[in-house]
Copies of this chain bind each other. A is one copy, B any other.
Amino acid sequence: MVTPPFVPNIDWNNQYDNIIDNKPIDTMTHIPSQLSKDSYSHSHPYPQPHTHSHPYDTSHSHSHAFLEYNYNVLTPTGNDNIMVQGHAVSIEGTLGTVTNPENIHLALLNNKNEDNKLIHLDPVPNFLDKADIKPWLQKIFYPQGIELVIERSDNTKVVFKCKASKRGKNAKEPMFSNDHHEKLSKHDHNNSNTSEDDSPQEDSTGQKKEKKKKKKRSVSRFNVCPFRIRATYSLKRKKWGIVVLNNSHSHDLEFNPNSEEYKKFKDKLKSDNDVEAIKKFDELEYRIRVHLPIQNTMIPCDCGMTSEIQSFNIVLPNTSSSTTTTTKNNLIHKPQLKKKITDSLLQQTAKKKFIAVHYNNENKSNSNSNSNIKQENQLPTVSNIPDFIDDPFDQAKNYDSTDNFLYTNNSSLLPMTLTESEDIMDLNEIDFTNIFTKSFNGNMNIQSTTTPTTIENDTSHGIASNETNHNGLTRTELDLIDNLTPVSSLSMFHNDYINHTESILNEPQSRLGSNHTPAMNYSSPHHIARNVGMQPINGSNDSQMQHLPNILQPNHTGIPHKGSPLYLNKELDILHTTNSPSPSVMSRDVFDMENYQIKNEPPEHLPSDINIQAHLNVSDDPLVKIHESDDQINNWLSSLYQPH
């Protein structure tokens, strides 16, 4: 709609030289602006096309962003090397973490927010209009599978949160006719009071004595995701600061290029002539369409042996994970490493909540060639549904073991046990064949995109608009919110496990366990990994390997490669800037398809899974339907390349 003449060529892949490794700096470190490659501040003189230009921002100077936070966690990268050195990303300061926007995926993975750590983005452009903040953040967080909307804004503050999911179409009948409802939230996570929060706790101070934070209720019973990004304008420094406030989600992360918000975002990029960003997102869309790894979710390995790492599809919870399950649906192939290995890995960074075990297939100088795996029947993340109705920001919840039961009748709930320090996955089935190092990564649910002619009839389309629930809340859970009896409401704070339990039947490939901090995961049933140096994963009964032929040779587009720092991978050729959904425009240099193979997982569940699924009424799980569309895409790919 709006066609501002300003072109914010934000390039969050720029390399910043002002990175300090593992050295907390308590003093404000002002990096000369020349070191910052922030294209925003290099943009054209700002015409302030919007109506909400900051009143205090009287200067149109081209000042650059500074590094002004205490650097406790750093991802040292050279301009041509974004490899993460060591485990610095997991080292955090008391005030939080500062991360370069280009490495936001690392910070998000390693700063799971059970302790409300902040993630400061730095550098940040000198936004002259707060309306420019959202597009800039969208460039960063769309590839992370996070679609941002503004929760609140004024002249000095913009608060972003996850966009609410499309709600389901058919509201199911409430199971219980009673209307009792209950909320359970914990507070006092900022004081050291370890007493039982559920007890009335009438201490000697009497009423209205202690100074505690007021609990708040979410404005929507549906959108309960606590994830927030806050942009605040500092009058002193006359610059915007951006902080990730609650780095956890109540839902799976997914990048949906069909969303209206994303289309508007793309339209704005076009109207701004942000060619490089357009190309980048075209590439992102294509990668998602053909189930290629998404670069912004790649984490370079720091072991110097990445060439041997082939693929990744496993995320391990650390010992602080508070979830477990009675069901075993692990389709991960050839478990070879046991939990002891996991524990040894977990020892290395105390703050880690997830460890993405991936196999890198080659050791290019940058991370774009990191392989990725689209997974079928992937395990969902353990949703962080903090208090269901109240206080989605409260991360310090205590789970009463006496409340570890869920309704097992028609409400699609299973009794589950809560065990601290229990891994959610059966480690006996994890394939650690090629593990000799560890690195972080996340998985992302990808809503399959088909060609425009097939989208409307695609089953995945119906999923997205029909039965998809609000930010991780299933219809059953919403029914529980409405109808839970006083007795049953005792288990309300375990609804995130409901989510997990249902989804576990459909995504057995990978499990994300943690303190309600899901990593990204892929919903695609196909595992695509570069086979350069890749050791073939010995398929289990339910895995099928499909080796792509070398037929796929996408045409080069006529758009010249600009060598812009916008590219994550300098080796990537550019995609043309059209919206063509066809992957035929993909540059061969970009994707190097002959080095990928598609590993197709069958959608069938194990017999035991089927039983549980029937019990849980998860037949309409959207992820199941996504498989169909993925199969369509796979068929399309197969017809293109004519394997066999």
| Residues in chain A within 8 A of chain B (CB atoms) | 171-188, 193, 195, 197-202, 206-212, 214-217, 219-221, 387, 389-391, 394, 409-411, 481-483, 485-486, 488-490
Contacts and interface: CB of A to CB of B under 8 A. Distances in A.
A478 to B, nearest CB: 8
Given A179-B394, A207-B410, 14 more contacts: A172-B208, A173-B208, A175-B208, A176-B200, A177-B193, A177-B199, A177-B200, A177-B201, A179-B184, A179-B187, A181-B185, A214-B482, A217-B389, A486-B489
- The CB with the most chain B CB atoms within 10 A, among A178, A197, A198, A211, is that of A178
Given A179-B391, A183-B179, A215 B409 contact: no
B410 A208 contact: yes
A491 to B, nearest CB: 12
Integer count of this chain's copies in the complex: 2
Contact of A215 (B174, B182, B209): B174
Nearest to A391: B179
A387 B198 contact: no
Contact of A173 (B171, B211, B219, B391): B211
A290 to B, nearest CB: 38
A634 to B, nearest CB: 33
Given A173-B207, A175-B207, A210-B173, A198 B180 contact: yes
Nearest to A208: B173
- The CB with the most chain B CB atoms within 10 A, among A186, A198, A409, is that of A198
Contact of A198 (B179, B187, B206): B179
A473 to B, nearest CB: 12
- The CB with the most chain B CB atoms within 10 A, among A177, A391, A410, A490, is that of A177
A217 B481 CA distance: 9
A182 B180 contact: yes
A176 B221 CA distance: 23
- The CB with the most chain B CB atoms within 10 A, among A179, A207, A214, A394, is that of A179
A179 B221 contact: no
Contacts of A198: 178-180, 485-486
A474 to B, nearest CB: 13
The 5 closest A-B pairs by CB, nearest first: A207-B410, A181-B183, A173-B208, A179-B185, A177-B201
Contacts of A207: 172-173, 175, 409-411
Nearest to A203: B177
Contacts of A209: 173
9 contacts: A173-B209, A176-B201, A177-B200, A179-B184, A181-B183, A215-B483, A219-B220, A390-B482, A486-B489
A211 B179 CA distance: 16
Contacts of A178: 184, 197-201
A180 B196 CA distance: 12
Contacts of A489: 182, 486
Given A176-B201, A482-B214, A181 B390 contact: yes
A344 B104 CA distance: 74
A388 to B, nearest CB: 9
Contact of A181 (B181, B188, B195): B181
A389 B180 CA distance: 11
